[in-house]
Amino acid sequence: LQVIDCHCGGEPARVVTGGLPHVPGSTAYEKRAYMMEHLDHYREMLLQEPRGYPCQNVNYILPPTDPKAAYSYVIAEQNKVYPAVSGHNTICVVTALLETGMVPMEEPTTKFSLEAPGGLIGVTAT
Cα 23 from Cα 122, distance rounded (Å): 23
Greatest CA separation for the chain: 42
Query: From the candidates 26, 72, 86, 113, which is the catalytic residue?
Result: 86
Cα 96 from Cα 123, distance rounded (Å): 13
- The dihedrals phi and psi of 73, each to the nearest 5 degrees, come to -150, 155
Q: Taking a C-beta distance cutoff of 8 angstroms, is the pair 51, 7 a contact? A: no
Active site residue 72: no
Task: Quote the crossing angle between the two packed helices 40-47 and 28-38, to the nearest 10°.
Answer: 70
Tell me the catalytic residues. Answer: 86
